[in-house]
Structure 1
Amino acid sequence: MTTQSENPDMEARLRDIREGIDHGRFPAYVFNDQEIFDLEQEKLFGQAWTFLAHESEIPKPGDYVTRYIGNNNLIVARDEHGEIHANLNMCRHRGNMMCKSEMGNASHFRCSYHGWVYKNSGELIGVPYLAEGYEGKLKRKDWGLVKARIDTYEGLVFGTFNEDASSLEDYLGGFQFYLDLYLKQGPNGSEVHGPPDHWITETDWKIAAENFAGDGYHTPVAHQFGFNLGYFPSSGATHSQGWAASIPGKGHGIGLGHTPGFTPFAGFPDALTAEIKKSLTPDQVEVFSNTRTAVGTVFPNLSFLMQPFSLIPGETGVRFVTMRLYHPIGPGKCEMYSWCLVPKDASDEYKEAAYQAYTLTFAQAGTFEQDDLENWARLTRMAKSSAAKGIEFPYLMGMETERDEDFRGPGHVVKPYVNDSNFRNLWGRWADYLLGEA
């Protein structure tokens, strides 16, 4: 593969894209293009921090899941001492896949080809015919599984193969303030409820990442029936109210929808609301008390959504959280992972109610999920057309909007919630990575 640094034409195109972003323009073809996909694998997913798992998915020693950093499959496992490791799922002898299950519990992994055995922490401990075949020339300590760097935030496990990457704290860059709404749901935080849904879709990962970075513009159109039937505690007339918040230069963004007169933290049981407020700072309590819907993306491809949903139209209903990952597997194609996050200390009754709301709305067969997937798939298909090579999209909303200085959260924060500022920040960071300037 010719890299960007070896392809002056590609570098020139990327610099044109980068300049266009600052002027509110972004090309259509990048949402379904082989060269862009290949470059993303090398320059973006090969360098950035990528979400791997939630700690609650592997609660006991020996628990593991298999996940991805770009096109690299990893075993994310908790060892006998409780420490989490992320190792490339490839035997160091001839490269066979070590673990063929998506989740389970194992203290060791044995290659089905030649029988090399590794601890779940990655150390090589067993080599058949070691004395007879290798004559003392192979030292097991030198041939463990390839390790990724990992770090965590409030239960989220991230990984990278970039040894020179900045810390996860620096990478998140203050977006932790907003992540806490999803993750600090009480003194013991959040946990996943059930295994993730995951499926293949003819959708470019970037479309989904942008949508969940705060695209409130599509909601009254694509999900109009939700308003008409009273499933949302807002209306098309009030839906644009709220804030768009992004961390400049980091790519992360969140949309915070606000409905006048909306009861703070509505959809949580009163006792749980009191515990959540204790887990947050005064500034967070003020911001999130004004938040009806919170939909955000951690750059590049991890997203969250929190909102109340009612099975009885017109009532507040139950507040749920979905956590989502868009794993790219080809140009215009991705594998979607979707989890339901619930407060760890909540009652089983509330957890089941939240899971039901999640399942009906944004799980694999959720009603709102189907609305989005139909639009995303068609957008992806059109981006591949020959005419799309010369087409740009407008990202012009909020170009001149100043920061809301009364808002008590970090980053570039503007109102209304319907705004393109988050997306310009997202694509600017994307372009910086592809140019090797992140």
Structure 2
Amino acid sequence: MASVPHRIENPELIPAQRYYDPHFFELEKEHLWPHVWQMACRLEEIPNTGDYVEYTILDKSVIIVNTKAGVKAFHNACRHRGVKLVESPGNCGKKGFICPFHGWRWDEHGECTFVFGKEIFNPDLLDQDEIGLAPCRVETWAGCAFINFDDDASSLLESLGPVAETLNARNVDKLKMEWWYGTILPVNWKLAMEAFMEGYHVMRTHPQLHDLAPMSAYGQDVGSMPKRNLDSKQMVATMADFYARLSSGMAGMVHETEVAVMDKLRDMDVPEDPMAALGAFIAKAQEEITRDGLARGAPMFDIPSVNKSHPFHDVEFMFPHFFLLPSFAAMSSYRIRPISPESCKFEIWSLVLRPEGEEYDTPKAPTMLDYDSKEFPEIPMQDYSNLPRQQEGLHAGGFDYMRLSREQEGMISNYQRLIDGYIAGLNTETLTKAQNVVNSGYNAPVLDIGF
């Protein structure tokens, strides 16, 4: 570990250079991204045999294709002279993948089916085992295809650890896209990820939620205080208002159909004790949202029983760049990819359990907006407003370290120390065990990750 520049020596202090140093970025490019599972696409993007999309990460490009034998992935390069075969979604069922330069062709399984003028080549250069598209490791989970450039890495489920079982219980594989936004943020990819690892930012970044929260974990902020001394009916109304505002600001995290169910419960009979009333309201909401989903034909799970058997966090992470935000049945989903030391591509999905057979327009690509666009939902718009300022502030004279709360911001430290493990070249077993710990969820404390 001593060879890692700007390494984490104190888990509560994160060196600022990790977020802008070009050399550190190159080390991540060389030692992290080639060895980790990456969410490459949602399976809804490739619903039919022959459908394909391109996934890019830094200077790498991969084709993800739906075949009769399942989802496959190939490195996106012609085996003749390296031209990229695809740059946009499509279907290769009829014509295959055709190189735009010299016309070589491959089928959905990566087998070369045509070489123009093959007699002009040395036959040894056209061995089928050599000119087939180079495969890339791919596995599926949660309605997504994940790729890994490392054939020796642990399996996807081994790498995810317990978080996979937690989300499987919530029918994560049956979620469908409602909308998909993207933007280019002028911030380091880790900085973008870390904005969602703690709830400490809510009181200032999302005051509309803090004001409606019946309780605050961090104390009262002068000038923007959550409501206190509520009676039981006020407690229920405030909680219903909170979920409605969360839905309007984020959509996927609490869906409008779930809000509609809760609106009908505003006048329900509740105990006189405000906290007991809050518990009764949430329990009833879980029951009724389950019942409503089943009545509409959605592939629902039993929310109350699953919440007991598989407790979840408000944000569930899948190292290094993907996370889901569950609440009732719907979820939001985020993916963040590095572009440069101080820029990243940031995507958000709203996901819902749709009734079986319901027709809807599946987004084919993200709606790309400027990061300061007013078209974003309220909550991501607020998050985006802080991050570029933070990236700039890291360059300020005299700012050497981020100072973390050991109890509430520990996940940032856990994540960063795992990155150090990859850069140091630790063995696969050690990194997999550490990743299982790091995928521990929102508001985690500093944890022992094994090194």
In the alignment, is residue 13 of structure 1 matched against residue 9 of structure 2?
Answer: no
Q: Give the Cα–Cα distance (whole angstroms) in 1 for the partners of residues 320 and 92 of structure 2.
A: 31
> Is the Cα contact below 8 Å between 2:335 and 2:347 reproduced in 1?
yes
1:74-89 paired onto structure 2 within 5 Å: 74-79=62-67, 81-89=68-76
In the alignment, is residue 286 of structure 1 matched against residue 274 of structure 2?
Answer: no
Q: Give the Cα–Cα distance (whole angstroms) in 1 for the partners of residues 149 and 99 of structure 2.
A: 23
TM-superposed deviation, 1:153: 1.9
Q: Give the Cα–Cα distance (whole angstroms) in 2 for the partners of residues 333 and 123 of structure 1.
A: 37
Aligned partner of 2:91 in structure 1 is 105
Per the alignment, do residues 337 and 120 of structure 1 end up closer, same or farther by CA in structure 2, a change over 3 Å counting?
Answer: farther
1:196-211 paired onto structure 2 within 5 Å: 196-211=180-195
1:36-51 paired onto structure 2 within 5 Å: 36-51=24-39
Residue identity in the other structure for 1:191: K
TM-superposed deviation, 1:12: 5.0
Aligned partner of 1:332 in structure 2 is 342
TM-superposed deviation, 1:321: 1.8
Residue by residue over 1:370-400, the C-alpha shift from the partner in whole angstroms, topping out at 9 and shown as x without a partner, is 1111211111122244544xx11122332xx
Q: Give the Cα–Cα distance (whole angstroms) in 2 for the partners of residues 128 and 45 of structure 1.
A: 36
Per the alignment, do residues 225 and 158 of structure 1 end up closer, same or farther by CA in structure 2, a change over 3 Å counting?
Answer: same
Aligned residues: 356
Q: Give the Cα–Cα distance (whole angstroms) in 2 for the partners of residues 121 and 239 of structure 1.
A: 54
Per the alignment, do residues 137 and 87 of structure 1 end up closer, same or farther by CA in structure 2, a change over 3 Å counting?
Answer: closer
In the alignment, is residue 381 of structure 1 matched against residue 392 of structure 2?
Answer: yes
Residue by residue over 1:283-341, the C-alpha shift from the partner in whole angstroms, topping out at 9 and shown as x without a partner, is x43166x87x7222211010122347xxxxxxxxxx74221110101011011122221
Q: Give the Cα–Cα distance (whole angstroms) in 2 for the partners of residues 238 and 156 of structure 1.
A: 34
Residue identity in the other structure for 2:201: H
SS in 1 for 2:176: strand
Q: Give the Cα–Cα distance (whole angstroms) in 1 for the partners of residues 118 and 358 of structure 2.
A: 52
TM-superposed deviation, 1:271: 3.1
SS in 2 for 1:53: strand
> Is the Cα contact below 8 Å between 1:88 and 1:146 reproduced in 2?
yes
Residue identity in the other structure for 1:426: Y
Counterpart selection for 2:381 from 370, 373, 397: 370
Q: Give the Cα–Cα distance (whole angstroms) in 1 for the partners of residues 4 and 124 of structure 2.
A: 53
In the alignment, is residue 124 of structure 1 matched against residue 112 of structure 2?
Answer: yes
Per the alignment, do residues 324 and 433 of structure 1 end up closer, same or farther by CA in structure 2, a change over 3 Å counting?
Answer: same
TM-superposed deviation, 1:423: 2.4
> Is the Cα contact below 8 Å between 1:124 and 1:141 reproduced in 2?
no
Aligned partner of 2:154 in structure 1 is 166
Q: Give the Cα–Cα distance (whole angstroms) in 2 for the partners of residues 158 and 112 of structure 1.
A: 27
Per the alignment, do residues 347 and 295 of structure 1 end up closer, same or farther by CA in structure 2, a change over 3 Å counting?
Answer: farther
Aligned partner of 1:90 in structure 2 is 77
Counterpart selection for 2:205 from 206, 218, 222: 222
> Is the Cα contact below 8 Å between 2:333 and 2:349 reproduced in 1?
yes
Q: Give the Cα–Cα distance (whole angstroms) in 1 for the partners of residues 355 and 178 of structure 2.
A: 12
TM-superposed deviation, 1:121: 2.6
Q: Give the Cα–Cα distance (whole angstroms) in 2 for the partners of residues 338 and 363 of structure 1.
A: 15
Counterpart selection for 1:299 from 282, 302, 319: 319
In the alignment, is residue 393 of structure 1 matched against residue 413 of structure 2?
Answer: no
In the alignment, is residue 270 of structure 1 matched against residue 287 of structure 2?
Answer: no
Aligned partner of 1:189 in structure 2 is 174
TM-superposed deviation, 1:26: 0.9
Per the alignment, do residues 30 and 325 of structure 1 end up closer, same or farther by CA in structure 2, a change over 3 Å counting?
Answer: same
Q: Give the Cα–Cα distance (whole angstroms) in 1 for the partners of residues 383 and 409 of structure 2.
A: 18
> Higher strand proportion, which one?
1
Bigger Cα displacement from structure 2, 150-159 vs 215-224: 150-159
Q: Give the Cα–Cα distance (whole angstroms) in 2 for the partners of residues 54 and 392 of structure 1.
A: 37
> Is the Cα contact below 8 Å between 2:330 and 2:353 reproduced in 1?
no
Aligned partner of 2:415 in structure 1 is 426
Residue identity in the other structure for 1:19: E
Counterpart selection for 2:216 from 216, 234, 237: 237
Bigger Cα displacement from structure 2, 258-267 vs 150-159: 258-267
Counterpart selection for 1:114 from 83, 89, 102: 102
Counterpart selection for 1:60 from 41, 48, 53: 48
Q: Give the Cα–Cα distance (whole angstroms) in 2 for the partners of residues 271 and 111 of structure 1.
A: 50
TM-superposed deviation, 1:161: 0.9
Per the alignment, do residues 347 and 386 of structure 1 end up closer, same or farther by CA in structure 2, a change over 3 Å counting?
Answer: farther
> Is the Cα contact below 8 Å between 1:51 and 1:159 reproduced in 2?
yes
> Is the Cα contact below 8 Å between 1:272 and 1:346 reproduced in 2?
no
Which runs of structure 1 show a deviation greater than 6 angstroms over 4 or more consecutive aligned residues? 349-352
> Is the Cα contact below 8 Å between 2:300 and 2:353 reproduced in 1?
no
Q: Give the Cα–Cα distance (whole angstroms) in 1 for the partners of residues 301 and 38 of structure 2.
A: 29
Per the alignment, do residues 281 and 307 of structure 1 end up closer, same or farther by CA in structure 2, a change over 3 Å counting?
Answer: closer
With normalisation by structure 2, the TM-score equals 0.70
> Is the Cα contact below 8 Å between 1:46 and 1:69 reproduced in 2?
no
Q: Mind listing any 5+ residue stretches in structure 2 that lack a counterpart?
A: 220-274, 363-368, 432-451
Residue identity in the other structure for 1:130: K
Bigger Cα displacement from structure 2, 327-336 vs 59-68: 59-68
Q: Give the Cα–Cα distance (whole angstroms) in 1 for the partners of residues 36 and 57 of structure 2.
A: 9
SS in 1 for 2:34: coil
Counterpart selection for 1:32 from 20, 29, 38: 20
SS in 1 for 2:5: helix
Bigger Cα displacement from structure 2, 135-144 vs 297-306: 135-144
Per the alignment, do residues 236 and 97 of structure 1 end up closer, same or farther by CA in structure 2, a change over 3 Å counting?
Answer: farther
SS in 1 for 2:10: helix
Q: Give the Cα–Cα distance (whole angstroms) in 2 for the partners of residues 281 and 330 of structure 1.
A: 44
